[in-house]
C-alpha cells in the first residue's frame, strides 16, 4: 500500500475502440491540493469515476487512502467527499431538505449532529440564506454550491471535485478557491479537476496534466513550471538582425506576424545577456519583456494543443 492519498498504476479505460484513459499513473500526496488539468474530453472525469468505483477499469490498479479500489470501497468512500459532473438533487425540495435526505441516507452519519453539520456545510458555501428555497429555483452557481455542501456534510480525508467552479461568478470562484485552501490547511487532501488552468494555478500545490487520455506531466507545481523556459519578447524595427543575434546565442528565435515582434525561449541564456547582445549589434529596441511560463503555456508546448480541443 502507498502513503499517497490517491495512486494509480497503468489505469486504462476503453469505450469500444476509443481509449479514453491510457495507462495513467497518478500520485496525489496526502495533504496536497492536486490540480487535475486538461481540456474537456481529455479523460479527467473518466479517471475520477474509476477512482470512486463508479466505472470499472479495463487495466491497471487504483489505491485511494491506502486501500485498493473498488475492492474496499465500503471502507474508503465514507472518508471521501465528491462532486462529479455537477450535482443532482430533488428539484421540488429545498436545498436544506435535500441535504437532510442525503445525510439521513448515510449509514455512517450521526443523526444527533445532523442539524449542526448541515448548517455548517451551508454556511461554508454561502447558502444559508437560500436554504429554504426549492432546488429547481437555484441558479447554476447555487446548484454547484449545494453540491459542495453535500460533499462537506462530514469530515473528509479526501475531497474530489470535478469542475467545482462551473457556473460560478468571479466572487463565487474566489470563495471556492478560499474554501479549498482552508480544507487543505485542515488536513484534507483535495483533488480538483478543471479545464481552467489559470484558476488552478492560483491554488494548487501539485498538478497532473491530461491530454487525449494520457497523463503528460505530473509533480509539484513549482517543479512542473520550472521545466519550461521563460519567453523573451522584443519589439524592434530590425527584425531580421534581431533574429540573427538571438540565433547566434543558441536561441530558437522567430518573428511573430508583421508588427516587429520577435520571440525566443531563453533556456540557459540570461535576459540581460540577450539584451546586451542585441544592443551591441545595433538592434533598436522599442520594447523588451520576459513572460514567465504558466500552465497553459506549458500544456501547449508539450502537446501543441490549446484548450479548445475535443479529444
Closest by Cα among 225, 221, 204, 231 to 294 = 225
Q: Model pTM?
A: 0.78
Residue 270 scores a pLDDT above 70: yes
Separation between Cα atoms, residue 94 and residue 109, nearest integer Å: 21
**pLDDT value of residue 307:** 55
Instruction: Look up residue 10 and give its three cell numbers.
Output: 497503468
Q: What fold does the segment set 6-220 form as a domain? A: Rossmann fold (3.40.50)
Level-2 CATH architecture, domain 231-292: 2-Layer Sandwich (3.30)
- Give me the mean pLDDT over the 202-228 stretch: 88
The mean pLDDT of the chain is 89
- Give me the mean pLDDT over the 98-109 stretch: 92
Separation between Cα atoms, residue 249 and residue 259, nearest integer Å: 23
Question: Which of 4-18, 92-106, 157-171 is predicted with the least confidence, judged by mean pLDDT?
Answer: 157-171
Residue 97 scores a pLDDT above 80: yes
**pLDDT of 236-253, one tens digit each?**
999 999 999 999 999 988
What one-character DSSP code corresponds to residue 294?
A: -
Residue 311 scores a pLDDT above 70: no
- Give me the mean pLDDT over the 124-131 stretch: 92
E-strand stretches of 212-256: 214-220, 231-235, 254-256
Query: Three-state DSSP class for 249?
Result: coil
Domain spans in the chain, listed from the N-terminal domain onward: 6-220, 231-292
Amino acid at each position: 500500500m502507498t502513503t499517497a492519498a490517491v495512486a494509480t498504476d497503468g489505469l486504462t479505460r476503453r469505450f469500444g475502440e476509443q481509449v479514453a484513459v491510457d495507462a495513467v499513473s497518478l500520485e496525489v500526496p496526502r495533504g496536497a491540493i492536486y490540480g487535475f488539468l486538461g481540456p474537456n474530453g481529455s479523460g479527467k472525469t473518466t479517471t475520477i469515476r474509476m477512482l470512486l468505483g463508479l466505472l470499472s477499469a479495463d487495466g491497471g490498479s487504483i489505491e485511494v487512502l491506502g486501500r485498493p479500489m473498488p475492492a474496499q470501497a465500503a471502507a474508503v468512500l465514507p472518508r471521501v467527499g465528491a462532486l462529479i459532473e455537477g450535482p443532482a438533487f430533488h428539484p421540488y425540495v429545498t436545498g436544506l431538505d435535500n441535504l437532510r435526505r442525503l445525510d439521513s441516507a448515510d449509514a455512517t452519519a450521526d443523526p444527533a449532529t445532523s442539524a449542526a453539520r448541515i448548517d455548517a456545510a451551508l454556511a461554508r458555501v454561502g447558502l444559508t440564506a437560500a436554504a429554504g428555497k426549492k432546488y429547481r429555483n437555484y441558479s447554476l452557481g447555487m446548484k454547484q454550491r449545494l453540491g459542495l455542501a453535500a460533499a462537506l456534510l462530514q469530515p473528509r480525508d479526501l475531497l474530489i471535485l470535478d469542475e467545482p467552479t462551473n457556473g460560478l461568478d468571479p466572487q463565487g470562484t474566489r470563495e471556492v478557491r478560499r474554501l479549498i485552501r482552508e480544507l487543505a490547511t485542515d488536513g484534507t487532501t483535495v483533488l480538483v479537476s478543471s479545464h481552467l488552468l489559470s484558476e488552478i494555478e492560483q491554488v494548487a500545490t501539485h498538478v497532473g496534466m491530461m491530454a487525449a487520455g494520457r497523463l503528460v506531466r505530473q509533480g509539484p507545481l513549482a517543479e512542473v513550471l520550472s521545466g519550461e523556459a521563460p519567453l523573451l519578447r522584443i519589439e524592434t524595427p530590425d527584425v531580421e538582425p534581431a533574429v540573427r543575434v538571438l540565433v547566434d546565442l543558441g536561441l530558437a528565435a522567430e518573428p511573430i506576424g508583421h508588427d516587429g515582434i520577435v520571440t525566443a525561449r531563453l533556456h540557459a541564456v540570461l535576459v540581460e545577456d540577450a539584451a546586451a547582445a542585441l544592443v551591441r549589434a545595433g538592434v533598436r529596441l522599442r520594447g523588451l519583456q520576459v513572460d514567465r511560463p504558466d500552465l497553459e503555456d506549458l500544456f501547449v508546448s508539450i502537446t501543441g494543443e490549446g484548450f479548445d480541443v475535443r479529444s
